[in-house]
Structure 1
Amino acid sequence: MEIHAAIARESIAFLIIENLLPAGNSDGRIAPHPSDRDIALLFGGFAGICSKLDAASLDSRTITAPPDRVKCKISPPRQGAILQVRHHQAFQRRKPVNPSSIVRLTVPADMRFLEMIRGFVRELASAAGFSQREILGLELAAEEASVNSIEHAYPDGRPGDIFLKAEIGRTELVLSIRDEGLPFDPDLEPADVSGTAADEFSARGLGLRIIRHEVDEARFENLGRRGKALRLVKRLAAPAEPEPEPLPSRIAPAPPQQYEIRPMKPEEAIQVARIFWLAYGYSYKNENFYRPEGLLHLVGSGRLTSTVAVTDGGEVVGHAGILRPTPAPMAEAALLVINPAHRGRGLMGALSRANEARALEMGLLGMSVNPVTSHAISQRDVMRLGGRPCGLDLAASPPRLFKALGSETAPPQRESCLHCFRYFDSPPPVKVHVPPRHREIVTRIYECLAQACTFGDQAPASALGEYRIDFDKTVLKGIIRVVRADERQWPELLRAADDLAEYAGAEVVNLDLPLEQPASALLCKRAEEAGFFFSGLRPREAPDGDSLRLQRLHCPFDPDRLQFFDEFGRLLFDYVKAGMGESGKKSTEPGG
């Protein structure tokens, strides 16, 4: 479905709505034409918009063939507003629409259309199956972002549009709000924003003060000449399910048997969810893996490839996944879990080899793995399978209790991971750009990866930068990914990092810089002056090569509780810990 609206000099609103999914009434018949109630439900705030345009009422309706195509004319006293509806869908039935429904709305950046935006979001959220409380929250979040675009994207009354795109999936609603207006002024230093102006900027920021409470994920994208967009994700609540019975203190080994390694079938998702509970309790960092529908959504969207180990009797006893949220030439080997009764039988190696075979079929160059640092067992297993340490991800997720591993004695703190990578073939040499102080450790990391590297000189950017911002409410983590490095955008990046911590509640903020770009070395220096610290490399995660990761923590954290399996992991940790100490208070204070 697409909706377009515009105001001409005579205050005329034109809207086109098309590609709606046909749907019958409760008795299965196709509605011959929409009722006034249908139109009100479909457009939500449309009546409010028309009233502000001096619209009077529906005074004519023309039915065109075929019967489910409708053309309505809404005439105000002056000229009029024309509304065309094709493939009308009756919205009286409040049940979720078909999965992967995509709806678009384009309106002028004009406050008179704000109620239409709210109505658009309200009816979509209702159709997706959200509660009234959740619907109101989504309305407010969309209003916050839209008002920001209306007031600041197009200065001096310059005409422009706001583009909304919504996708209703099986388990979530994704809403994108984009404008093609004024980019952020890269020359505006933080010191230039003070008093009331600073309060106003912080209040609108990325809309994170409201978004923190109303959505599960938020991503801000600076698209350069293509404008900027805010992407919001709201997940549907899963039905309450009884918690499984407590685990026995010891699980008896299953009888010896043969296992089949193959792709997961949809009906096996519930068995995979149960294995996660058997292995981790409800402590795994991503709740989607405890929900069959969440697991299937990840598979259906192409972000997850699942492989399972199955007994002769059809029981799923192991799972391994390939996570690939972006089209990078790498993916993360994740979600490797074995039923405790079937451990020690080579299933981890068999699943890992199957994963690698599928990754090669996908044309990937290598895979990353992120074993935890609360114990060294998973690090040992990863390194035996060829993973090589190249970075740390400190405070990556909320505390994990590992009930199945029996480590509940220490006070909880956010879990950290050792980032490891394995190339499938010999990697080519690279030329990277980092401040001189980091060149020695970067050289050591590339030696660990068996990859040659040389260093280039830092240099200012020659083109406008581009970056993306993600906030995951589930793990309270913000990530700023720089796509095109531009040191002139540092004030903007710093304010984004501060907003993620102060308004969104992020307990850790990551900054990823593309190592092959000379301006990244300049951005790295600025970031470290603001309390970020070096935490390693992320091979093949940048659009043009490897990324440098910097972090800033906003939560209590004791690095001495981390455990490491091998000497290089410990060496890398010592370097990162020293950088944390240099950042001092800046690591826990926004904008420090």
Structure 2
Amino acid sequence: MPKTLQTELTLPADLRMLRLIRDYARGLALLAGLPEEQAESLALAVEEACENAMEHAFEGDESSAIKLAGELTPAALTLAIHDRGLPFYRTREADAPEPDLENQASTCLPCRGLASIQHCVDEVRWVYHGVEGNELRLTKNLAGVCRLPSPEPETSAPPAERVRPAAPQAYAIRLLRPGDGVHVAQLMYRVYGYSYSNEDFYYPDRLDHDLAAGRHVGVVAVAGDGEIAGHAGVERPDLGPLAELGQLAVAPAHRGRGLRQLMGDRLQEEVMRLGLAGLFGEAVTIHTISQEGSDSRGLHPTGIKLLDWQAHFKTLQCRRPPSSQWEREAEPGLQRETMVFYFKYLAPPERNAICAPSRHREMLAKIYRRLGVDLHFLEPSGPTGPGELKVHYDQATGAGVIQVNRIGIGTLPEIYQARRDLCDMVGAKVVGLLLPLAQGGAPYLCEAAEADGFFFSGIQPHCAADGDFLRLQFLNAELDPARIHLSSPFAKELLAYVLQEKERVARKT
């Protein structure tokens, strides 16, 4: 079987077709190697989504059709459901009862609604294609190689008795290679336990697949005995002009030897060889270590993403007592954490013309000035024609994103509906809203979204098809600003502005 298998099935939008749909999804799941129980759960989720579309999308049009597209890779099985019915952001099941999620811990029973479907898969993505219709994309990650067992029993022994410094030695700094995956997984376990947010690093097959596809570029530090003592890398999920900086880890026994700097220098050489337009990264704020690393590499803060990540510190604290202030503040259990968005141009940026709300122009000018961008503000203009937006919900972090690619006449009500669906139907704790700054309708959408509770969060340069995104966000969880620790003076100034805007919007809504 090829490494990537793609299939399609097109059927009439007829409830009698549901059995075929279920068999198709179940067959792909079994082909992917999922256990019988998980394959049945995934098939039920796909059947439920198709039944929902058939009952609510077409308003009795018997000539309509539903297309299913399946893609199987070593990393994941993705099933996409396409229809050209009513735009998805009009809720199709407003009167559906709430699912009993308490009884769905092990399997997903056939119950109504997207709130139940999202519990059967690892990722749910909504895409609205304008005149091309709607797409609901369900992704189930594949284990590949099972997670590694604990290399040592869990104890509460102090660090001195648990981790002995390695003997002084020379390290080989080289690119990550296929076959290194299991050693990188061991490294991540030693550093993070099982709490690292990118779970692909615990599955060697997934990491090897991303490496072969060019979606991951990594540098490792190899000790004299062959142990991978450190890793630094970048991710290129769509093989575009940007790469995400991150995945930094140094084994406790090998710290204090300059490995982070050595790996960073080698990684920078490789990134420059790729001819990318820019680097971006997200740094946690429960401590400033990763921020300082981004600062030292010439990246600049361009946004504050409040409560955008859900961290789990239980494993960290069980493995050893807290050794720093930030670890003492990290109470066991799930916590929402704020992230700093960083960016750096790798080539001299061109003069940038953006259409921004007058209220935020002063702060935007400060952000762009630090990036070395010659900025010019355009006058706003009204939207014309159809719009296009995507909605993404990450179940692992509880965060949703509404990404507007093209501003159209009907974009604003679609944003309102998408935000309500994310918060009320699937329980998103935070929703980001990305508006294209190159388009004249951005100021109008920004002001209207602020009236709905969104507030300024920063910019994401070079992330839109036609330029940069203005980022707003909506919080559906409580924020404690005292938990946010920042390293650079400008990050602190940016946070103060974001919190000020949050309070201003709250007074108006």
Structure 2 length as normaliser, TM-score? 0.87
Secondary structure of the 1:266 match is coil
Which of the numbers 106, 121, 134 marks the counterpart of 1:215? 121
Instruction: Specify the alignment match of 1:234 in structure 2.
Output: 140
> In structure 2, how many angstroms separate the alpha carbons of the residues matched to 1:219 and 1:337?
30
Instruction: Specify the alignment match of 2:67 in structure 1.
Output: 163
Question: Shift in Å at residue 535 of structure 1?
Answer: 0.8
Map 1:317-332 onto structure 2 (within 5 A): 317-332=229-244
Residue deviations 1:51-86 (CA, integer Å, cap 9, x gap): xxxxxxxxxxxxxxxxxxxxxxxxxxxxxxxxxxxx
> In structure 2, how many angstroms separate the alpha carbons of the residues matched to 1:156 and 1:338?
60
**AA aligned opposite 1:161:** A
> In structure 2, how many angstroms separate the alpha carbons of the residues matched to 1:467 and 1:374?
32
> In structure 2, how many angstroms separate the alpha carbons of the residues matched to 1:315 and 1:302?
24
Are residue 126 (structure 1) and residue 22 (structure 2) matched?
no
Which of the numbers 86, 100, 104 marks the counterpart of 2:8? 104
- 237-246 or 524-533, larger mean C-alpha shift: 237-246
In the alignment, structure 1 segments of 5+ residues that lack a partner are 1-20, 22-97, 587-591
Q: Does the Cα contact within 8 Å between 1:487 and 1:520 map onto a contact in 2? A: no
Which of the numbers 303, 321, 328 marks the counterpart of 1:409? 328
Instruction: Specify the alignment match of 2:95 in structure 1.
Output: 199
Q: Does the Cα contact within 8 Å between 1:328 and 1:541 map onto a contact in 2? A: no
Secondary structure of the 1:253 match is coil
Question: Quick check: which has more Rg, 1 or 2?
Answer: 1
Residue deviations 1:6-63 (CA, integer Å, cap 9, x gap): xxxxxxxxxxxxxxx6xxxxxxxxxxxxxxxxxxxxxxxxxxxxxxxxxxxxxxxxxx
Q: Does the Cα contact within 8 Å between 1:391 and 1:538 map onto a contact in 2? A: yes
Question: Shift in Å at residue 326 of structure 1?
Answer: 2.5
Instruction: Specify the alignment match of 2:43 in structure 1.
Output: 139
Q: Does the Cα contact within 8 Å between 2:49 and 2:114 map onto a contact in 1? A: no
Secondary structure of the 1:215 match is coil
Instruction: Specify the alignment match of 1:273 in structure 2.
Output: 185
Secondary structure of the 1:214 match is coil
Aligned-CA RMSD value: 2.7
Instruction: Specify the alignment match of 1:177 in structure 2.
Output: 81
Are residue 534 (structure 1) and residue 456 (structure 2) matched?
yes
Question: Shift in Å at residue 487 of structure 1?
Answer: 5.2
Which of the numbers 428, 434, 444 marks the counterpart of 1:506? 428
> In structure 2, how many angstroms separate the alpha carbons of the residues matched to 1:420 and 1:487?
32
- 564-573 or 150-159, larger mean C-alpha shift: 150-159
Instruction: Specify the alignment match of 1:282 in structure 2.
Output: 194
Question: Shift in Å at residue 254 of structure 1?
Answer: 2.7
Secondary structure of the 1:239 match is coil
Q: Does the Cα contact within 8 Å between 2:220 and 2:230 map onto a contact in 1? A: yes
Q: Does the Cα contact within 8 Å between 2:230 and 2:250 map onto a contact in 1? A: yes
Residue deviations 1:331-368 (CA, integer Å, cap 9, x gap): 10110112222233332223223323332333311101
Q: Does the Cα contact within 8 Å between 2:389 and 2:403 map onto a contact in 1? A: yes
Q: Does the Cα contact within 8 Å between 2:25 and 2:42 map onto a contact in 1? A: yes
Question: Shift in Å at residue 107 of structure 1?
Answer: 1.0
Instruction: Specify the alignment match of 1:15 in structure 2.
Output: none
Instruction: Specify the alignment match of 1:256 in structure 2.
Output: 168
Secondary structure of the 1:375 match is coil
Q: Does the Cα contact within 8 Å between 1:208 and 1:499 map onto a contact in 2? A: no
Residue deviations 1:240-261 (CA, integer Å, cap 9, x gap): 6432325851444333333322
Structure 1 length as normaliser, TM-score? 0.75
Distance 1:471 1:301, change over 3 A: farther
Using the aligned pairs only, state the percent identity: 38
> In structure 2, how many angstroms separate the alpha carbons of the residues matched to 1:355 and 1:368?
14
Residue deviations 1:367-402 (CA, integer Å, cap 9, x gap): 012121111122122211111111112222212425
Secondary structure of the 1:397 match is strand
Residue deviations 1:96-154 (CA, integer Å, cap 9, x gap): xx642222111122222122111111221122222343233322321232123323444
Which of the numbers 379, 402, 407 marks the counterpart of 1:485? 407
Higher relative contact order (CA closer than 8 Å, sequence separation 6+): 2
Secondary structure of the 1:157 match is coil
> In structure 1, how many angstroms separate the alpha carbons of the residues matched to 2:192 and 2:275?
32
Q: Does the Cα contact within 8 Å between 1:328 and 1:540 map onto a contact in 2? A: no
Which of the numbers 207, 220, 227 marks the counterpart of 1:295? 207
Distance 1:235 1:398, change over 3 A: same
Secondary structure of the 1:443 match is helix
Q: Does the Cα contact within 8 Å between 2:302 and 2:343 map onto a contact in 1? A: yes
In the alignment, structure 2 segments of 5+ residues that lack a partner are 100-111
> In structure 2, how many angstroms separate the alpha carbons of the residues matched to 1:585 and 1:159?
50
Equivalenced residue count is: 481
Question: Shift in Å at residue 452 of structure 1?
Answer: 1.6
Which of the numbers 341, 363, 366 marks the counterpart of 2:278? 366
Question: Shift in Å at residue 308 of structure 1?
Answer: 1.4
Q: Does the Cα contact within 8 Å between 1:486 and 1:520 map onto a contact in 2? A: no
Distance 1:439 1:288, change over 3 A: same
**AA aligned opposite 2:35:** S
Secondary structure of the 2:31 match is helix
> In structure 1, how many angstroms separate the alpha carbons of the residues matched to 2:131 and 2:264?
42
Secondary structure of the 1:166 match is strand
Q: Does the Cα contact within 8 Å between 2:178 and 2:211 map onto a contact in 1? A: no
